[in-house]
Amino acid sequence: MRLRTRFFLFVQGTTVVGIVLVSWTIYRSARSELEATARCRLRQNACLVAEQAEYALSHIICEVEGWAKMPLTVETAQHYRERASIEAFHEYFRGLEARFSLYQSINLVNLDADCVASSSADTNRLYHADHRHRVAGRFDFREALAGRTGISESLVSRATGRPCLAISVPVRRTDNGVCAALRVVVDLGLFNDALTASLKHMDDRQVVVMDPALNIQLAPRPLLVGEPLSRQPYRPPEIVLPKEQEAADEGTFLYRDSGEACLAAFCRVSRPRWVIVVRQPLSEVLAPIATVRRSTLGVSVALALLLVPMMSLMARPALNDLAACQKFARNVRDGQPNPPLHIRSGGELTVLAACLADMEAGLRQHQATRERMREAERLLAEARWRTLRYQVNPHFLFNALNSVDALLGTSPEGARRMLQLLAEFYRATLLVPPDGMTTVREEMGRVGRYLAIEQIRWGEQALRIEMSAEPEWDDFRLPAFTLQPLVENAVKYGQLSEADPLEIRLAVRRRESAVEIVVANRGRWFGTGECPADVSAGVGLDNVLQRLRNAFGESIQLTHEASGGWVRVVLRLPEGTRES
């Protein structure tokens, strides 16, 4: 009898240990899968939010550049000694600061680095010696004095004690000389709040914008010259990047926030070097299998205390059920379809089966989330080309209208012709299909109208145009506005080369197994740093190449050469990219 009891105890102990090990294996497998899925999802979210942050920053920069060109700003910069100008500046920009609620201050700084007008009502900021000393050495201010938009690295505001960055834009006189800088201070914490508020699919606790290189606790004590009492104290996030990932552009890591384990992914923004962190408590990630551990313990205790006489009879059904659960979890891990789990032994294994079913449903939901993320990326790409569609150079429109005004007195027919071409050009710009694709014929027509306008402005003898396209490529489809930046660059840099007359050639032809688009102009190639400071780089060749690779893949080639007084930009698209 004693031997039988020992045997049953041995069978019970072995069975309990086996059940625990099997359950723990299922749990570890499911946990690894959930963590891997969560890391992938968080990394995708971090990259998407980083792109949205870069877009938001570029939008802010465009707004500030627009403010710097306003007559109010230019007038105040030239007459900042007049009280009426300062009060008008303060009233207008105070309203902007209150409306957008992410700026610490908007200041007009003269060439001596004195703050001469501000959105702040505190006059202590004006002509403050500490302000002049610090701003004069800032990189962004020196860039503005050189005629370029400058963006500082992250710093701690002396007015509020909060992290921020400064955007300095040159304010130009009518003769195009720099007379002041419009310096806007963007609050990092308020930017984080505005960014997370725009992310409808994320909790506001998930996204953090931070700068690991900025230690807010070691920052100098704020100099109260602004409105520090109107700002809440900034609380630095309790997030520290692992040392091995400090130089990485993106990655995932585990950390503890107020004692709670969290899984996080990060992605860096190119300028400034902010880090976008998307986080989620580990307990939420593992919620689908949280019951598995409790279920395992309950089954083990029940078997140990209540099932000693019947252990040999119950072991086989229970093990079969556990094996079925293990197979179910393995199929979930491998992405294989699963039939419904039917548990015959009941009890805690039923709970385990329910947890596994919930886990599978959760993983399917994560898969659906990834699909939504991919759709969001597609929509973002579509938004980019739509943005490019509305970025037709405003200077071109301004110059064309000035030319029309000049021609009205000397050549009404020429003015009428230019207005017709201008209307046709902008109508063609707006009539782009929803998919962002157009044909070579339509691109050539749009570019032809643009060059015809430029030819009227400069004269047929000063600007000579030659365009040709082999008929078989008329219906070749490519992203809209592919040729426009190339031709604009040819005109702009050809004029900078002082080519007289300026000749522009555009050709679409077959070369071997590829369609070749060549844009050539008389002149020379301008290397990095050779352009005048007041010449914008425009959308650039890199932007054109990236859009084409997004549409057709990595086989696209964009090269340039300069020889014999000609600069040629050659775009090669393999014939396999041709669409019907």
Written in H, E and C, the secondary structure of 2-45 is HHHHHHHHHHHHHHHHHHHHHHHHHHHHHHHHHHHHHHHHHHHH
Report the pLDDT value the prediction gives residue 414, as an integer from 0 to 100: 78
Higher-pLDDT residue of 114 and 500 is 114
| Architecture of the domain spanning 390-577 | 2-Layer Sandwich (3.30)
What is the rounded average pLDDT of the residues 507-534? Answer: 79
443 pLDDT higher than 50: yes
Higher-pLDDT residue of 38 and 123 is 38
Higher-pLDDT residue of 196 and 32 is 32
What is the rounded average pLDDT of the residues 561-574? Answer: 88
Report the pLDDT value the prediction gives residue 576, as an integer from 0 to 100: 58
Residues 6+ apart with CB under 8 A from 231: 104, 160, 161, 162, 187
What is the rounded average pLDDT of the residues 328-345? Answer: 73
**Lowest-confidence pick of 94-103, 152-161, 351-360:** 351-360
Residues 6+ apart with CB under 8 A from 515: 473, 476, 508, 509, 572, 573, 575, 578
As given in the structure block, the two tokens for residue 441 are: 């014929």
Q: How far apart, in Å, are the Cα atoms of 219 and each of 138, 171, 287, 524?
A: 17, 31, 40, 49
As given in the structure block, the two tokens for residue 427 are: 């109508």
The H or E element containing residue 66 is helix 2-68
Contact 135/121 with Cβ under 8 angstroms? Answer: no
CA geometry: angle at 248 spanning 243 and 250, to 5°?
A: 115
At 451 the three-state DSSP class reads helix
Higher-pLDDT residue of 359 and 516 is 516
Contact 185/103 with Cβ under 8 angstroms? Answer: yes
When the pLDDT of each residue in the chain is averaged and rounded to a whole number, the result is 78
As given in the structure block, the two tokens for residue 477 are: 């489809």
In angstroms, rounded to a whole number, what is the distance separating the alpha carbons of residues 249 and 52?
16
580 pLDDT higher than 50: no
Contact 279/262 with Cβ under 8 angstroms? Answer: yes
In angstroms, rounded to a whole number, what is the distance separating the alpha carbons of residues 463 and 47?
45
Report the pLDDT value the prediction gives residue 519, as an integer from 0 to 100: 92
250-257 vs 163-172, strand pairing mode: unpaired
Report the pLDDT value the prediction gives residue 64, as an integer from 0 to 100: 92
Report the pLDDT value the prediction gives residue 505, as an integer from 0 to 100: 92
CA geometry: angle at 361 spanning 355 and 364, to 5°?
A: 145
In angstroms, rounded to a whole number, what is the distance separating the alpha carbons of residues 103 and 105?
5
pLDDT category, 141, cuts 50, 70, 90?
A: very high
Higher-pLDDT residue of 497 and 306 is 497
Q: Structure pTM? A: 0.46
Report the pLDDT value the prediction gives residue 315, as an integer from 0 to 100: 54
Proportion of the chain above pLDDT 90, given as a percent: 13
Contact 250/46 with Cβ under 8 angstroms? Answer: yes
Report the pLDDT value the prediction gives residue 73, as an integer from 0 to 100: 92
pLDDT category, 168, cuts 50, 70, 90?
A: very high
34 pLDDT higher than 50: yes
As given in the structure block, the two tokens for residue 281 are: 């408590």
Domain with CATH 3.30.565.10 in the chain: 390-577
Torsion angle of the four alpha carbons 220, 224, 226, 229, in this order, in degrees rounded to the nearest 10: 100
What is the rounded average pLDDT of the residues 385-396? Answer: 55
Report the pLDDT value the prediction gives residue 67, as an integer from 0 to 100: 93
pLDDT category, 70, cuts 50, 70, 90?
A: very high
pLDDT category, 219, cuts 50, 70, 90?
A: very low
Contact 114/122 with Cβ under 8 angstroms? Answer: no
As given in the structure block, the two tokens for residue 40 are: 């992938």
Report the pLDDT value the prediction gives residue 472, as an integer from 0 to 100: 84
What is the rounded average pLDDT of the residues 517-543? Answer: 70
Q: Which residue is associated with the tokens 């199929």?
A: 331
Q: How far apart, in Å, are the Cα atoms of 540 and each of 4, 482, 489, 545?
A: 86, 11, 8, 9
